[in-house]
């Protein structure tokens, strides 16, 4: 294998992992309340700035920062649910949709006011930027850490969904919310839980994103968030393995588009990604792992 | 209230008098700022009314208006930009087009037709999508169009944007178009076409059981909305004289959605009032923003206001109703 190919595979793996981390949250939330949380991408931004602040303050050891970011994302996700979403539960789907869109706009602009619109440079400590050769290619450590941590998170989450009471309740609600309530499951608590868990993972993705690309700004969450939602659609909305697979499919095809076509096309990267989405929606609207929901009159 | 209600004809005359009175007053004042602001507000009204038709009547959730506006704007500019400077600003332009100069109404119509055609093409692919998917697909469309505008810099000057677009959009032209578009959407709503669209919105499956071709209607609403958006997009740079790939983006899409949500999904009068209210409101907030230097406050306030408004009135101000006008 050529070095170039290995390099591209590692790139795809690491970008795909980031999409997968964000996509999991979309899928969890959609599974429980059939709602796409538009503010989800902004949690990535919040996570990035949290990391930035923690690193700049220089008060916490490095090993603790990811844990704090996870906790912060958990709170922020839950807060969005409490403030924006809880109050309109029971309203038509379109209302919930507009509310999350409003929340996203409000968060972005609040961040612009509080943090300023100037992009900030941001770098991980030397250790993570260390590069070492794999089969001739020069790979950054961070690009290997990201997939490893993502895998760990995915495993932990799968166990959580399969084995714990709360996880089983989430699956029950996804299957049939009405029957689940009859069984004594409190949907309100679960909604909070999925927003918070999704928020934690998105914030972690923000930490990685800022470390990988070295620059952060208040609007950085929008496009990755949108693309992660595309990943969710590709995999089938509501399915966890689908979200993860979708993240990697999107990551790899984006890298392939940029890496293997002549450079003058790389400006069209985002256009390509959304073209792909429309194509997939046409061929397989329910996604790779999604189930067809029958429309009833 | 019942006694105050106007008949549709009276309402139409009232609208004409109101718009022309406003334009006469604003032109008479000779104040350039007021003229620009009035022009932008009227264009907002057109956009809101057309989105009320696309989304409000059929129950679709398209965020794609800014994408079609961008298309219409760039196409129109190709024909209105001073011929002498085209070779410099748009080197990739074929010689045939570079020599043509059209007056704005014609150029904007060309822009609208191109946008409508693209709307028809894209609509064939996306209108059958459910709420979230359509929203994301059309949001993606905004990004696709922006990406193209950014990269086709032989036509668009890319990220530098086109400056010096002739300010040809007169208030009278905009005013006439506003009235025409309001009347068009009103007629659609109260004709069998509109009723069929509303039936699709209320219950698509039931509507189809009555023999309504839901796909065709949604496609029609989408295409027509795209055309009107393209037309408005073509007018806008001729008011403010600049155009860049980021001119029409997510914030605009969101503001338009805010307008039709506040107005009530499907209410034309509601959309007009909400467009006026939000235009004036965000313009005054923008002045506060500039004087205090805190940029972004406007969007935060609009977003928070929208959330709180939805808590109180989930169906918007008027729902589907047309206040102040008797149903004929």
Q: Which residues of B touch A99 (CB under 8 A)?
A: 307, 310
- Least confident piece of the model among A91-95, A210-214, B271-275: A91-95
pLDDT range class, residue A287, cuts 50, 70, 90? confident
What is chain B's alpha carbon radius of gyration, rounded to the nearest angstrom? 20
| Torsion sign across C-alpha atoms B287, B290, B292, B294 | positive
**pLDDT given for residue A291 in this prediction:** 67
Query: Touching check for B242 and chain A: CB below 8 Å?
Result: no
Grouping H, G, I as helix, E, B as strand and the rest as coil, residue A131 is strand
Nearest CA-CA distance, residue A216 and chain B, Å: 18
Output the six-digit token pair for B252: 């605009």
Q: Rounded CA gap, B15 and B13, in Å?
A: 5
Collapsing DSSP states into helix, strand and coil, what is residue B294? Answer: coil
| Alpha helix (H) residue ranges in A185-221 | 187-213
Strand partners, B325: B6
A132 lies within 8 A of chain B by CB: no
Residue of B132, B154, B199 to mutate, testing the A interface (most A Cβ within 10 Å of its Cβ) = B132
**CB pair distance less than 8 Å for A105 and B203:** no
Burial of residue A245 (CB within 10 Å: 0-12, 13-18, 19+) is buried
Q: CB distance B144–A87 less than 8 Å?
A: no
Residue B273 CB neighbour total at 10 angstroms = 21
**Chain A residues touching residue B256 (CB < 8 angstroms):** none
Query: B132 and A108 in contact by Cβ < 8 A?
Result: no
SS3 A268: helix
Q: What is the mean pLDDT of residues B195-204?
A: 89
> Is residue B321 within 8 Å of residue B52, measured between CB atoms?
no
- Which residue from B minimizes the CA distance to A236? B133
A274 reaches B (C-beta below 8 A) = yes
pLDDT band for position B218 (50/70/90)? very high
The residue with greater pLDDT, A260 or B193, is B193
In this prediction, residue A297 carries a pLDDT of 46
- Selected residue of A34, A106, A110 to mutate for chain B interface (largest B Cβ count, 10 A): A106
Mutation pick from B210, B310, B311 vs chain A, by most beta carbons of A within 10 Å, is B310
A184-193, A227-236, B93-102: the lowest-pLDDT one: B93-102
Q: Which residue has the higher pLDDT, A52 or A285?
A: A52
pLDDT for the residue A239: 79
Share of chain A above pLDDT 70, in %: 93
What's residue A189's pLDDT? 85
| Distance from the A295 Cα atom to the nearest Cα atom in chain B, whole angstroms | 8
- State which residue of chain B sits closest to A275, comparing Cα positions: B144
Q: For position A271, what pLDDT does the model report?
A: 85
Higher pLDDT, A290 or A167: A167
Higher-pLDDT residue of B34 and A90 is B34
Query: What would the DSSP string read from start to end of A211-234?
Result: HHH-EE-TTTTHHHHHHHHHHHHH
HEC sequence for B151-196: HCHHHHCHHHCEECCCCCCCHHHHHHHHHHHHHHHHHHHHCHHHHH
Asked if A191 is an interface residue toward chain B (Cβ–Cβ < 8 A), one would say no
Half-sphere exposure of B288 toward its Cβ, with a 13 Å CA cutoff? 11
Query: Is the model more confident about B297 or about A290?
Result: B297
- Cα(B211)–Cα(B23) distance, integer angstroms: 45
Give the per-residue pLDDT at B41. 92
Question: Which residues of B fall within a CB distance of 8 Å from A295?
Answer: 205
- Strand pairing category for A131-134 and A137-140: antiparallel
How much is the average pLDDT of A39-56?
89
Question: Which stretches does DSSP call E strand in chain B?
Answer: 162-163, 242-243
**Does the ipTM surpass 0.95?**
no
* CB nearest B151 (choices: A110, A267, A281): A267
Nearest CB partner across the interface for A97, out of B135, B294, B311? B135
Using CB atoms, which residue from B205, B265, B295 is nearest to A295? B205
Per-residue model confidence as pLDDT tens digits over B19-30 = 888 888 888 888
Mean pLDDT of A63-82: 89
Tell me, what's the pLDDT at A1?
57
Which residues in chain A have their CB less than 8 angstroms from residue B297's CB?
A: 109, 113
Structure tokens that stand for B120 in this block: 């028809």
Residue A197 predicted with pLDDT over 50: yes
In the stretch 250-269 of chain B, residues with CB closer than 8 A to chain A read 250-251, 254, 257-258, 261, 265
Cα–Cα distance, B229 to B235 (Å, whole number):
10
C-alpha distance from A16 to closest chain B C-alpha (Å): 19
Q: Which residue of A has its CA nearest to B250?
A: A105
Interchain CB distance below 8 Å, A106 and B304 = yes
Place of tokens 């549709």: B8
Tell me the residue length of chain B.
328
Q: Is residue A20 within 8 Å of A88, Cβ to Cβ?
A: no
pLDDT in tens, A145-156: 888 899 999 899
| pLDDT at site A295 | 52
Structure tokens at A171: 């699956």
Q: Inspect the interface and report whether the beta carbons of B303 and A102 lie closer than 8 Å.
A: yes
Of the two residues A284 and B234, the one the predictor is more confident about is B234
Contact A87/B at CB under 8 A = yes
Q: Is any Cβ of chain A less than 8 angstroms from the Cβ of B147? A: yes
Q: Which residue has the tokens 């106007």?
A: B6
Among A126-130, A281-285, B55-59, B315-319, where is mean pLDDT lowest?
A: A126-130
- For B94, the 3-state DSSP assignment is coil
Residues of B in contact with A235 (CB under 8 A): none
Tally A–B CB contacts below 8 A: 120
More confident residue, A252 or B1: A252
Among B56, B119, B125, B140, most A C-beta atoms within 10 A, so best to mutate, is: B140
DSSP letter for A117, please. S
d(CA A125, CA A28) in angstroms, rounded, equals 33
Summarised one tens digit per residue, pLDDT across range A115-165 is: 877 888 877 766 667 777 776 677 778 888 888 899 999 899 889 888 998
Q: Determine, for residues B143 and A87 on separate chains, whether the beta-carbon distance falls below 8 Å.
A: no
Q: What is the DSSP string of B227-258?
A: HHHHHHHHHTHHHHSEE-TTSS-HHHHHHHHH
Q: Which residue has the tokens 């700022």?
A: B33
Contacts of A270 in chain B (CB under 8 A): 143-144, 147
User: Residue B177: what pLDDT?
Assistant: 93
Q: B206 and chain A: CB distance < 8 Å anywhere?
A: yes
Q: Tell me what pLDDT residue B1 has.
A: 46
In terms of phi and psi (left: phi > 0; alpha: psi -120 to 50; beta: otherwise), the region of A217 is beta
User: What is the C-alpha to C-alpha distance for residues B78 and B238, in angstroms, rounded to an integer?
Assistant: 12
Residue B183 confidence (pLDDT): 92
């Amino acid at each position: 294998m050529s070095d170039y190919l290995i390099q591209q595979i590692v790139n795809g793996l690491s970008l795909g992992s980031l999409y997968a981390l964000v996509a999991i949250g979309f899928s969890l939330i959609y599974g429980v309340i059939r709602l796409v949380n538009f503010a989800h991408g902004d949690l990535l931004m919040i996570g990035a700035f949290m990391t930035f602040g923690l690193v700049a303050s220089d008060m916490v050891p490095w090993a603790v920062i990811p844990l704090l970011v996870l906790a912060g994302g958990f709170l922020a996700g839950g807060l969005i649910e409490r403030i924006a979403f809880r109050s309109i539960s029971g309203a038509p789907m379109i209302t919930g949709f507009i509310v999350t869109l409003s929340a996203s706009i409000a968060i972005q602009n609040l961040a612009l006011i509080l943090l300023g619109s100037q992009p900030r440079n941001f770098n991980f400590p030397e250790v993570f930027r260390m590069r070492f050769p794999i089969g001739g290619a020069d790979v950054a450590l961070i690009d290997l850490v990201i997939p490893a941590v993502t895998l760990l998170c995915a495993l932990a989450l799968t166990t959580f969904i399969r084995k714990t009471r709360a996880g089983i309740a989430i699956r029950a609600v996804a299957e049939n919310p009405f029957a689940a309530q009859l069984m004594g499951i409190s949907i309100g608590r679960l909604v909070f839980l999925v927003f918070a868990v999704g928020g934690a993972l998105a914030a972690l993705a923000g930490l990685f994103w800022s470390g990988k690309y070295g620059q952060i700004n208040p609007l950085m969450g929008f496009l990755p968030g949108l693309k992660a939602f595309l990943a969710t659609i590709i995999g089938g909305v509501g399915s966890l393995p689908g979200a993860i697979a979708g993240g990697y499919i999107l990551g790899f095809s984006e890298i392939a588009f940029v890496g293997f076509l002549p450079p003058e096309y790389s400006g069209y990267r985002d256009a390509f990604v959304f073209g792909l989405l429309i194509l997939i929606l046409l061929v397989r609207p329910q996604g790779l792992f999604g189930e067809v929901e029958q429309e009833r009159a | 209230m019942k006694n105050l209600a106007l008949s549709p004809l009276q309402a139409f005359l009232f609208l004409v008098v109101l718009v022309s009175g406003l334009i006469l007053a604003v032109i008479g004042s000779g104040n350039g700022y007021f003229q620009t602001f009035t022009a932008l507000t009227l264009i907002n009204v057109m956009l809101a009314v057309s989105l009320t038709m696309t989304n409000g009547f059929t129950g679709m959730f398209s965020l794609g208006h800014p994408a079609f506006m961008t298309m219409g704007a760039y196409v129109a500019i190709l024909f209105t930009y001073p011929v002498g400077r085209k070779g410099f600003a748009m080197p990739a332009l074929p010689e045939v087009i570079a020599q043509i100069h059209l007056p704005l109404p014609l150029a904007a119509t060309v822009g609208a037709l191109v946008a409508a055609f693209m709307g028809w093409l894209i609509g064939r692919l996306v209108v059958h999508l459910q709420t979230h998917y359509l929203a994301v697909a059309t949001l993606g469309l905004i990004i696709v169009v922006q990406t193209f505008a950014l990269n086709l810099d032989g036509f668009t000057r890319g990220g530098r944007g086109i400056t010096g677009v002739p300010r040809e959009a007169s208030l009278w032209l905009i005013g006439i178009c506003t009235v025409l578009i309001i009347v068009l959407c009103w007629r659609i709503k109260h004709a069998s076409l509109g009723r069929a669209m509303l039936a699709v919105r209320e219950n698509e499956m039931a509507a189809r059981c009555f023999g309504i071709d839901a796909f065709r209607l949604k496609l029609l609403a989408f295409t027509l909305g795209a055309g009107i958006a393209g037309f408005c997009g073509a007018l806008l740079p001729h008011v403010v004289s600049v155009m860049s790939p980021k001119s029409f983006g997510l914030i605009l899409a969101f503001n338009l959605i805010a307008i039709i949500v506040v107005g009530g999904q499907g209410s034309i009068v509601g959309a007009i009032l909400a467009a006026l209210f939000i235009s004036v409101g965000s313009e005054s907030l923008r002045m506060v923003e500039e004087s205090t230097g805190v940029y972004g406050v406007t969007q935060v306030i609009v977003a928070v206001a929208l959330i709180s408004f939805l808590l109180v009135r989930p169906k918007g101000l008027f729902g589907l109703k047309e206040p102040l006008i008797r149903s004929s």
